[in-house]
Structure 1
Amino acid sequence: MKQFKFPTARMLIALALVGMAWGSGPALAQQRDADQPIEVEADQLDLDDTAGTAVYTGDVDIRRGTMQLTGNRVEIRRNQAGELTRAIATGERAYIEQQPDPDEPVVRGWGRTIIYHVAERRVELIDRAELHQRGDTFDGGYLEYFLDRRVVQARAESEGVEGRQRIRMTLQPER
């Protein structure tokens, strides 16, 4: 089995945040944010080279440019090749945001769990999920947002979610 040297925590967070771009113009948002410094605040970091994980706990706040990811716990996972595969934020109200373009509003998402699948450029918002995009809002037990296509899929129920959280939407008229 091929061994890999796990990158420093700074490199790990840099890769995570570079890969997390919202909405249209992902290349623009990624480049603009990639040019910014990374700021991480947490009470604790546990880095595991063998498992390919970095786990931040205690009021975690990660920022880079227009990107922000917060939660009580944020775990970043990498594969054997050292590539970022997933970022998972959990907490009473985990949060993710980014402004895709200077002329567009910030896209915001909340949930008790937020899972960002890097290769698929897909975000799952789970349990008390909420997404705000261009004045439109989506709420429910489970929301899935495909970043490049701006596709939202929503369900009232999801595994591990207590009770039914009906889907609610508010869609603004086209201008």
Structure 2
Amino acid sequence: MPVTLLEPYLRPTKFFSAQHSSRSLLGNLLFAVTVFASIPFLRIGLGNIVGMLGERYFDPHVVIFAFSLWQTPLAAAQQQVMLVPFYAIGLLLFGIWLHGLLWLAGGKKASFTATMQCVCYAAPCFCLTIFPYSGTLTAEVYFSIFLAYSLRATHDTRWSRVLPAVALSFPVVFIVGNLLFP
């Protein structure tokens, strides 16, 4: 069972070239929104774990700065309820943008649902933002790499058509990633 859940992340080319469309557009979108909404709770959990380690492992100023975004679970839940529509609309707009860029690049005619599946399956890459300092940049780069591999396999096209679309999308990913997950 765990291997089946991790298959898109361990072998993205094999998974996405098989055209797995077991989920609908709404199911994929629900998966990605759930991942985005769970990130603050992962941050709270990591902050509590680091807080238990004490001063022997970390300097006090490092812990205070790195986890200054602490908030109560209730405040995080309220914030995430408000952000759910923005996550969903943002993912749809990003999928439309990316699908349009792939269409302009002359990629094979794959459906919009297939492009959205790639975008939604790349959402867990943003779980790396729970780590302080370089987590957000690492997540954005990993998101772009995973997205390139999955789009190449799904659209069954060459790298020369996928990489410009992903490269033109990177500034959007960078700005939105830094706004949502500082």
TM range (shorter): under 0.3
Whichever of the two has the greater Rg, that structure is 2
TM-score (norm 1): 0.25
Larger % of strand: which?
1
TM-score (norm 2): 0.25
More relative contact order, 1 or 2 (CA 8 Å, 6+ apart): 2
